[in-house]
Amino acid sequence: MRGYYADQVELYGQLVSKWEEIGARENWNYQAALTSLGNAYQSLGQYQQAIKYHQQYFKITIEIVNRNGEGTALGNLGNAYDSLGQYQQAIDSYQQCLDIAREIGDRKGEASALGNLGVTYNSLGQYQQAIEYHQQCLKINREIANPNGEGIAFGGLAIAYRFLGHYQQAIKYHQQHLKIAREIGDRNSEGSALEGLGNAYFCLGKYQQAIDFYQQSLDISREIGNRNGEGITFGGLGNAYFCLGEYQQAINFYQKWLKIAREISDRNGEGNSLGNLGNVYNSLGEYQRAIDFHQQSLEISREIGDRNGEGSSLNNLGNAYDSLGQYQGAIEFHQQSLEIMREIGDIRGGANSWYNLGLSLEKVDRESDALGAYRNASELYQQMGLDADVQNCNNAIERVSQPKAPVLSRRGFWAWLRRLWRWVRAWFRQ
């Protein structure tokens, strides 16, 4: 809840100020307050503030040679960078955290760092790499008998396989995550696993089953007061109803997500819900309204430094301008999106931007450029093993490659008709 995390920020902020006043930098309580304050800002979606306090703690751990604390700070910094879409910085932080955990023999910390690396590589579209990290994480958690970590690893594997289009495998891992969560009585993880199952069935096009799982997840989030989880599940329900063509119902759920995101100051969730509202209004043909929502989403992404969100918003704006028939504007937005996806190394986002760019280029008769865009998209989709997307690209390439039938002008048509009439008359005179 916003009130809970806002209270934490106020409480830990006061503690940090007090300890700083008396110059107690090496006091364990001061360091714990810095970490807790950073985590509270992370929960509120205020990632730059989170980074500020985690960096303060990180510097202290180096000064006093606290390797365990150094690893903790690096892991928390990685989480903030990952939330901002600054994936390479997240990877660097997690890798350093992993090295320290191995050096000091912290097996639980090692597993956690491996799992976090898996999450970030998944965000980059490097799914096989993500799977390798999650499998290492799973192996260690089994060895040290950490069922909670084991369940989280199953959840990570499920997400990677879902993005690869291996939905049955994803369902299997989500179910294992769910089983462990119920065995250890972890209601939060149970809700997360149910939401993951909803996502998997959504990808299979089984929207009613997805809705059932989302509803179960929603009930748990409400029961335990997980407002962030409640908002995310509203987003999932909105997606399902959107695909069912029940746009007003989808709008209702996205607005509920938006309301919660604003209440808990979750800027990332606010931006995502606005983007989804934009997509619905685009499908309804209300293109200017869609653009307004995508513009708000873009502004939030830029405000919080979320490069991945910025790229997605630009891509959505490109789609809206394409729908309006303003193809040059669409091309410019897709190109800006592509630059960001390249910069942060997001393969899936880059592939989507190339494909959408191709669609807009095709509509302004830039066939050669469109072919290049579709081929680039196809190559990236192949890297990820996304066969259905590769086929869509191949279909587009085949369509653009076909020679166009010559179009007769009106003058040319009448000239052709006169020649035909003269030929017919001459034939009858014979």
| Amino acid in position 384 | M
Same fold, 146-255 and 266-404: yes
DSSP character string of 31-52: HHHHHHHHHHHHHTT-HHHHHH
Q: Alpha helix (H) ranges present in 305-346?
A: 307-323, 327-344
Kindly tell me the sign of the dihedral angle through the C-alpha atoms of 245, 246, 249, 251: positive
CA atoms within 13 A on the CB side of 287: 11
Return the pLDDT at 416: 47
Q: Coil, strand, or helix at residue 164?
A: coil
End-to-end CA distance of the chain: 94
Please give the class, per CATH, of domain 266-404.
mainly alpha
pLDDT score at 213: 98
What is the model's pLDDT at position 428? Answer: 39
Which tokens go with 72? 């903790």
Using alpha carbons, select from 66, 75, 118, 68 the residue that is nearest to residue 94. Answer: 75
DSSP class per residue in 236-251: HHHHHHHHTT-HHHHH
Amino acid at 355: Y
- Give the H or E element holding residue 146: none
* Spans of all domains in the chain: 146-255, 266-404
| pLDDT score recorded for residue 61 | 94
pLDDT of res. 424: 41
DSSP 383-415: HHT-HHHHHHHHHHHHHHHSPPPPPPPHHHHHH
Question: CB 427: neighbour CB atoms within 10 A?
Answer: 8
The residue to which tokens 């072919």 are assigned: 371
Rounded CA-CA distance 182/412 in Å is 75
- Region for residue 245 given its phi and psi (left: phi exceeds 0; alpha: psi -120 to 50; beta: otherwise): left
List per-residue pLDDT tens for the chain, 430 residues long: 445 667 888 888 888 887 777 777 678 888 899 999 999 888 777 888 999 999 999 999 999 999 999 999 999 999 999 988 888 999 999 999 999 999 999 999 999 999 999 999 998 888 899 999 999 999 999 999 999 999 999 999 999 999 888 899 999 999 999 999 999 999 999 999 999 999 999 999 999 999 999 999 999 999 988 888 999 999 999 999 999 999 999 999 999 999 999 987 788 899 999 999 999 999 999 999 999 999 999 999 998 888 889 999 999 999 999 999 999 999 999 999 999 999 888 888 999 999 999 999 999 999 999 999 999 999 999 988 888 899 999 999 999 999 875 544 455 545 544 554 554 455 434 4
- What's residue 54's pLDDT? 96
| Rounded Cα–Cα distance for residues 33 and 29 (Å) | 6
Which architecture, in CATH terms, is 146-255? Alpha Horseshoe (1.25)
